[in-house]
Amino acid sequence: MNIDEFFYEIENMNDCSTNIIEKIKSHNLPVVIFGAGSYAKVTARALKKFGVKIFGYAVDSEYYNVISSDSLNGNAEVLNFADLSLEPEKYVFVIGMDDECYDGDRTFNLIKDKNLNLYAIVGGAPLTKEYILNNKTKFFETYSMLSDDWSKQTLIAYLKLCITHDPAYIYKFARKYQYFNELTKDILSDAQGSYVDCGTYRGDTIEKYIGVGGKYDKIFAIEADPQNFIELEKFIRTKGYKNVLPLNCGAGDMNGVLYFNMQASKASSFSKSGIEIAVKKIDTLVGDEKIKFIKMDIEGSELSALKGAELTIKRDKPALAICVYHKAEDLITIPQFIKSLHEDYKFYLVPHSLISSTEFVLYAFS
């Protein structure tokens, strides 16, 4: 495929950032968010921003008597989806559930249900049609660097998703088991080397790594948010994990101090104001330790953290699983930087969300 073929469909697509909202409003029906957790609250805020009133939050029967409207600030009722689904034509449903909660199964079943007026509010990378077309050559370079046709088709589908806000483009490419999957199984089973978990949050990815039988000499658990770090230390103690080193700092391209927006959530990130936190190079943190695998999900600081791991990557050629959806330029700058460190890295792109442009991961292996 040449660059003209690559961009033919994209150039002829309408930028539909508001079309989903218009479609939701066009039904003139009560709007119900499926889900009642943090993702549902984010979805509700997005809808309200566009003047869409929320009728209620639907959950499956097993959760109906567990979740109260108080947990949703009393903004709307918690409803039993089983009751609403008896007359689905009377409602418009918007997915407000992080599909990893069910490893994608529940969300996928909703998507397949043709009886529902169902939509998803796509969030994630701030990729616009204008930005994509203004950087045609660079996106095509990324396309050309990918090591298999599936990843190349995934990139095209992802760009279409970002332009149209229609998750249908990405469904067939989405895969379960973020970070620890068929691509990384050989790395996990390798008994030699350590794992760097950059953006550990409260220990969920460490638990998954160990749960799938991931072997390691040490785990470097890097978490910048102080509140998350307290929970992370408690989690490691409770689980009794050995040789897991919790590190309360950010990962960057220098050793120093930066401001941090502390949200005590997965969305905590560096900012222009907030609390001051220590920032360390991964090269400094791991020293001479042999590193076999680095995972990063750090809200847009991935490139900076990779630059701070340059010596480690050049020395050990670790497998990399790097989120590339936080910034518009991530799909350009991150693979190019990794390639500049080692020409023999092979790249694969995998989306791990059925309904949004988040959880888009670049895997790199030498």
129 in Cβ contact with 98 (< 8 Å): no
* Angle between helix 136-145 and helix 3-11 axes, rounded to 10 deg: 120
Residues in the chain with pLDDT values less than 70: 16-18, 68-75, 98-104, 123-125, 260-274
Q: Tokens for 47, please give them.
A: 């809808």
DSSP3 helix / strand / coil % (the chain, rounded to 5) = 40, 20, 40
CA distance 2 to 268: 40
Model pLDDT, residue 263: 57
Model pLDDT, residue 101: 43
Model pLDDT, residue 144: 95
Q: Tokens for 54, please give them.
A: 């929320």
Query: Which residue from 170, 167, 165 is spatially nearest to 153, judged by alpha carbons?
Result: 170
Model pLDDT, residue 215: 97
Query: Which residue from 300, 356, 331 is spatially nearest to 123, judged by alpha carbons?
Result: 356
Model pLDDT, residue 38: 79
Model pLDDT, residue 264: 46
Model pLDDT, residue 265: 47
3 state DSSP class of 186:
helix
**Tens of pLDDT along 304-327?**
999 999 999 999 999 999 999 999
Model pLDDT, residue 305: 97
250 in Cβ contact with 301 (< 8 Å): yes
